[in-house]
Structure 1
Amino acid sequence: MKKSFLFISCEEAKHICDKSQYGEATGWERIKLALRLSWCRVTKAYSNKNNKLTDTIEHAKVDCLNTDERDKIKHQFEEELAKHQ
């Protein structure tokens, strides 16, 4: 069976969707994805969920431990571990 150069599988569309989220998809890939999104409900749902996840991560206000705090916790953990051995 000859593979179509314009119509892509759902799996390939999902891969291109992921690449597109990070700006790694080529123009031709984005065209093929747009064509697939125009008629495939499964790919469209995947793309919508992917967009929501990306937006959530970009707007998340996450405070991470700095290096000093992490080292202090690690040191306390190692001390407690040494006590119980």
Structure 2
Amino acid sequence: MISCDKAAIICNKAQYVEATFIEKIKLKFHLFVCKTCSKATEKNTQLTSLCQKANLHALSDEDKVRMKQQLQNKG
């Protein structure tokens, strides 16, 4: 059986569709046995879902440069 630390790593990989089939099987077995990791995985899944629904946008590179210049001009 995998450790809780390894399960956390695989859980994160699975959230971003980077986990292998074998890793997913190991994670499922671990989550069946370990209720603490099962709850943590559930919360992680909820957080990922909320972030996707929030439709978050980052500043463009151009906006970042402009903001940096504005801050430097003030200081």
TM over 0.5: yes
Please state how far the C-alpha of 1:79 moved relative to its aligned partner: 2.4
Structure 1 distance, partners of 2:63, 2:34, is 50
Distance 1:24 1:65, change over 3 A: closer
Please state how far the C-alpha of 1:70 moved relative to its aligned partner: 5.6
Higher helix share: 2
What TM-score does the superposition give when structure 1 sets the normalisation length? 0.71
Structure 1 distance, partners of 2:64, 2:38, is 43
2:51 equivalent to 1:57: yes
What TM-score does the superposition give when structure 2 sets the normalisation length? 0.79
Structure 1 distance, partners of 2:14, 2:59, is 31
The alignment of Structure 1 onto Structure 2 pairs a total of residues equal to 74
2:22 equivalent to 1:28: yes
- Indicate the residue corresponding to 1:15 in structure 2: 9
- Indicate the residue corresponding to 2:33 in structure 1: 39
Structure 1 distance, partners of 2:6, 2:69, is 47
Please state how far the C-alpha of 1:39 moved relative to its aligned partner: 2.0
Identify unmatched segments of 5+ residues in structure 2.
none
Q: Decide which structure has the larger Cα Rg and report it.
A: 1
**% same residue:** 36
Distance 1:15 1:70, change over 3 A: same
Structure 2 distance, partners of 1:17, 1:69, is 32
